[in-house]
Amino acid sequence: MREKFQFLPEADSVRVWAVAGSPLSLIIGYLVLVNIWAFALMGFDKRRAKRKGARRIRERTLFLSALLGGGLGAFLGMWVFRHKTKHWYFVAGIPLITLAEAALGVWLYVMLR
């Protein structure tokens, strides 16, 4: 008995991404939004810090926004608003997160090139 083989055409990557949208544009859009969000969180928390008894943003939320890709926004927010610059774990942690994210981006760029 002869087996039937079904030959499917291979997907051309250019056509697939033309329909689905480029993953690079989605990634860049995500990173822009999360960095704006991290920057805004720093400014919002600084404004709240000046008010007595105002509810503040948790430090772990600020770190999480940096870890989710907003390291640069959090770093810029720290220095623009002069917020959390007396805490050693922010002064050391946020730049390290930013450098790790940049290194990951460069590594991905080189590997996918």
Residue 71's pLDDT band (boundaries 50, 70, 90)? very high
Instruction: Give the separation between CA 40 and CA 34, rounded to whole angstroms.
Output: 10
Domain boundaries, the chain: 13-112
Which pLDDT score, from 0 to 100, does residue 109 have?
84
Which pLDDT score, from 0 to 100, does residue 86 have?
93
Instruction: Give the separation between CA 60 and CA 13, rounded to whole angstroms.
Output: 40
Sign, CA dihedral 79-81-84-85, equals: positive
Q: What is the mean pLDDT of residues 71-78?
A: 96
Q: What is the mean pLDDT of residues 45-70?
A: 94
Which pLDDT score, from 0 to 100, does residue 40 have?
97
Q: Which residue has the tokens 């907003």?
A: 70
